[in-house]
Amino acid sequence: METKKMTEYIQLLKQHDWLYEYSDDHRVWKYGAEERAKLLRMQEELDPRAVTWNAFAPPRWRIQK
């Protein structure tokens, strides 16, 4: 059964801009960096083996555990 936090984590992974680092707009870059940091904190808590993370992340951003 998914918890509310896990549902939020999955939704954020689905909509995350994985390429934010390439933006020329600092606001886009800042938002993307903050969101990625939040996602990584959630990953450590909810998904320690990074199974869910890796299901949504492009190959470059997958976590090897």
Residue-level pLDDT at 24: 96
Domain of residue 50: give its range.
4-61
The pLDDT of residue 1 is above 80: no
Residue-level pLDDT at 65: 78
Give the DSSP letter of residue 65: -
DSSP 1-63: ---HHHHHHHHHHHH--TTGGG-S-HHHHHHHHHHHHHHHHHHHHH-TT-HHHHHHS-GGG--
Number of domains in the chain: 1
**Average pLDDT, rounded, for the chain:** 95
User: pLDDT for 31-56, tens place per residue?
Assistant: 999 999 999 999 999 999 999 999 99
pTM above 0.85, yes or no: yes
